[in-house]
C-alpha cells in the first residue's frame, strides 16, 4: 500500500492546486479513478464550476460511516527559495519534498491507495472520502460540501481530518475570523487638522484596540488550554493608507484576524471591535459626512472545541493508542463537522512545522504510519459487527 500511495502522491503534487487556481484537474483525476472502480462519488462545485469538492462512499450505503477528509488546495510557492521543483516529489534519504506532501496530499494519497487494497472489500460501515477546496484561504469550500453531505450519504458517525499531526490526535483547533476594515476621512493639508479627518489616525484607534484585546487575551489564558500558543490571539496583518506626509489621509485600510479556541470568546472580542468601530464611524461622520468605517468579513471558520467523550475521540484513540491531549493553533475543517453534529478530530501524517515552508517535506516513516493506521481502520470496520 505504501508504494502505491507514493506513486499516487507524485501525481497529486504535480497538480498545481494553489488556492488562487482551480483544483478541477486534481478532482477530475480522482473522480476518474473512482469511476473506474465503480465507487459512487459526487461533486459539489463552486459558483462558476472552476473548483469542486468531492465526496465518495467506499463500502455499504448505511449510516455510521467514517469520514476521511482532506483539502486539495495548497499555499503558494511564490518567492520561496525552493531547492527542487515544488510540483515534483523529490526523495532525499528518508524524506519526500514537494508542495503539499505534508499539507495534505500525503493523507489523500494514502486514502486513495487504501481503496485499491482488499481491506475495503468487506466493510460493514462505509469509508467516506471528502476532498475540499479553498481550505487554506478560510475553509471556504467545506461548508458547501457539508450542506449537501446527507443528500448523498447516510449520516456519518465521525470525521477524521487528516491534517499533518505526526499521527497524534489533536482534540482542539482554533477558529478563525478575518476582517477588512476601510476607514474613510477627509483630505486636508496636514497643518489644517480642523479642516479634515485623518483616516490613518482614526484607523490607528481601532488597531490599538486590537492590540489591547490581544494583551487581555494573553492574560486570560487558561492553564489547561492545549493549543500552542494557548488562548485567543488577535493581530493586524496588512495596513495601507495615505498619499503624502503633508496630507491628512482620506482612506486607510487594514486587515486583521481573530483566532480563538472558543466561539463564545471570539464573539465577545468581535462585538467589542464592532462597537468601537460604530462609535468611531459616528464621530467621523460628524466632521465628514462622506466618511466612516466599513467592516467586511472575509472568512470565518469555527473552532473544534474540546469533547473528550465524543465518538471521534474514543474511536480514533482506540486505533492509535494516543491518550494525550493536544490542540492546534491553526484552523482546520474539523470545527465545521462538529458544528453540524459530526464529532471530529485531527489525525494525519507529517508535521505542521514542515507545511507552508520552502522545501516542504514529509518523512516516509510518517506515510508508513498513516498507511498502518488506515489499514487498522478498514480492518475495524470490516470485523466489528461480524461477531
Per the structure, the complete domain to which residue 57 belongs is given by: 2-172+303-383
For helices 105-115 and 364-383, give the axis angle rounded to 10 degrees: 40
Q: Are residues 157 and 96 in the same domain?
A: yes
Q: Are residues 345 and 292 in the same domain?
A: no
pTM for the whole structure = 0.89
Q: How many CB atoms lie within 10 A of CB 182?
A: 17
Q: Are residues 179 and 155 in the same domain?
A: no
Q: Are residues 150 and 46 in the same domain?
A: yes
Burial class of 140 by CB neighbour count within 10 A (0 to 12, 13 to 18, 19+): buried
CATH number, domain containing residue 210: 3.30.70.360
> 504510519: which residue's cell?
369
Interacting residues of 125 by C-beta distance below 8 A, sequence separation 6+: 59, 60, 62, 64, 65, 66, 157, 381, 384, 385
Q: What is the pLDDT of residue 385?
A: 59
Q: Are residues 10 and 130 in the same domain?
A: yes
Q: Are residues 117 and 40 in the same domain?
A: yes
Tell me the percentage of the chain whose pLDDT exceeds 90: 89
Q: Are residues 103 and 133 in the same domain?
A: yes
What's the pLDDT tens digit per position in 93-136? Answer: 999 999 999 999 999 999 999 999 999 999 999 999 999 999 99
Q: Is the pLDDT of residue 48 over 80?
A: yes
Q: Are residues 79 and 136 in the same domain?
A: yes
Q: Is the pLDDT of residue 386 over 70?
A: no
Q: Are residues 123 and 90 in the same domain?
A: yes
What's the pLDDT tens digit per position in 201-237? Answer: 999 999 999 999 999 999 988 877 888 888 899 999 9
Look at strands 52-58 and 41-45 and give their pairing.
antiparallel
Q: How far is CA 15 from CA 21, 105, 357, 364, in A?
A: 10, 10, 18, 21
Q: Is the pLDDT of residue 343 over 50?
A: yes
Q: Are residues 307 and 289 in the same domain?
A: no
Q: Is the pLDDT of residue 253 over 90?
A: yes
Q: Is the pLDDT of residue 270 over 90?
A: yes
Q: Is the pLDDT of residue 381 over 70?
A: yes
pLDDT tier for residue 28 given thresholds of 50, 70 and 90: very high
Q: How far is CA 292 from CA 50, 274, 343, in A?
A: 36, 13, 43
Q: What is the pLDDT of residue 192?
A: 85
Q: Are residues 139 and 267 in the same domain?
A: no
φ/ψ (deg, to 5) at 240 = -140, 140
Q: Is the pLDDT of residue 387 over 50?
A: no
Which of 301, 335, 352 is the last residue before a domain boundary?
A: 301
Average model confidence (pLDDT) across the chain: 94
Q: What is the pLDDT of residue 223?
A: 79
Give the containing element (helix H, strand E) for 142. Answer: helix 142-152
Which of 283, 301, 319 is the last residue before a domain boundary?
A: 301
Q: What is the CA radius of gyration of the chain?
A: 23
| Cell triple for 108 | 489523500
C-alpha to C-alpha distance for 13 and 89, rounded to whole angstroms = 7
What's the pLDDT tens digit per position in 156-184? Answer: 999 999 999 999 999 999 999 999 999 99
C-alpha to C-alpha distance for 262 and 342, rounded to whole angstroms = 18
Q: Is the pLDDT of residue 356 over 80?
A: yes
Stretch 60-75: mean pLDDT: 97
CATH number, domain containing residue 138: 3.40.630.10
Q: Are residues 181 and 297 in the same domain?
A: yes
Which of 278, 301, 324 is the last residue before a domain boundary?
A: 301
Number of domains making up the chain: 2
Stretch 349-361: mean pLDDT: 94
Amino acid at each position: 500500500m505504501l508504494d502505491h500511495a507514493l506513486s499516487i502522491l507524485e501525481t497529486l503534487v504535480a497538480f498545481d492546486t494553489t488556492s488562487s487556481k482551480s483544483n478541477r484537474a486534481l478532482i477530475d483525476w480522482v473522480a476518474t479513478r473512482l469511476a473506474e472502480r465503480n465507487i459512487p462519488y459526487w461533486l459539489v462545485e463552486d459558483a462558476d464550476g472552476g473548483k469542486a469538492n468531492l465526496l465518495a462512499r467506499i463500502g455499504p450505503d448505511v449510516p455510521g460511516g467514517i469520514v476521511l477528509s482532506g483539502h486539495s488546495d495548497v499555499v503558494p510557492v511564490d518567492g520561496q527559495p525552493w531547492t527542487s521543483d515544488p510540483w515534483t516529489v523529490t526523495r532525499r534519504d528518508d524524506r519526500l519534498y514537494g508542495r503539499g506532501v505534508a499539507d495534505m496530499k500525503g493523507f489523500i494519497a494514502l486514502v486513495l491507495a487504501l481503496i485499491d487494497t482488499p481491506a475495503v472489500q468487506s466493510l460493514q460501515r462505509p469509508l467516506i472520502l471528502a476532498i475540499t477546496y479553498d481550505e487554506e484561504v478560510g475553509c471556504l469550500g467545506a461548508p458547501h460540501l457539508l450542506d449537501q453531505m446527507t443528500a448523498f450519504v447516510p449520516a456519518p458517525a465521525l470525521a477524521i481530518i487528516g491534517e499533518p499531526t505526526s499521527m497524534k490526535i489533536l482534540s482542539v483547533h482554533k477558529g478563525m475570523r478575518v476582517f477588512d476594515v476601510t476607514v474613510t476621512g477627509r483630505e486636508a493639508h496636514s497643518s489644517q487638522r480642523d479642516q479634515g479627518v485623518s483616516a490613518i489616525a482614526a484607523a490607528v484607534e481601532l488597531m490599538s484596540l486590537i492590540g489591547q484585546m490581544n494583551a487581555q487575551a494573553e492574560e486570560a489564558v487558561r492553564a489547561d488550554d492545549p493549543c500552542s500558543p494557548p488562548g485567543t490571539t488577535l493581530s493586524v496583518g496588512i495596513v495601507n493608507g495615505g498619499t503624502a506626509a503633508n496630507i491628512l489621509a482620506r482612506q486607510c485600510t487594514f486587515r486583521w484576524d481573530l483566532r480563538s479556541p472558543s466561539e463564545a470568546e471570539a464573539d465577545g472580542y468581535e462585538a467589542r471591535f464592532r462597537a468601537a468601530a460604530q462609535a468611531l464611524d459616528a464621530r467621523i461622520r460628524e466632521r465628514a459626512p462622506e466618511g466612516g468605517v466599513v467592516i467586511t468579513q472575509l472568512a470565518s471558520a469555527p473552532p473544534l472545541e474540546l469533547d473528550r467523550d465524543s465518538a471521534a475521540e474514543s474511536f480514533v484513540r482506540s486505533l492509535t493508542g494516543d491518550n494525550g491531549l493536544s490542540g492546534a493553533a491553526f484552523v482546520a475543517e474539523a470545527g465545521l463537522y462538529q458544528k453540524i453534529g459530526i464529532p471530529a478530530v485531527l489525525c494525519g501524517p507529517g508535521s505542521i512545522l514542515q507545511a507552508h515552508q520552502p522545501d516542504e517535506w514529509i518523512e516516509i516513516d510518517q506515510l508508513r504510519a498513516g498507511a498502518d493506521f488506515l489499514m487498522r481502520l478498514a480492518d475495524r470496520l470490516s470485523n466489528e459487527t461480524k461477531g
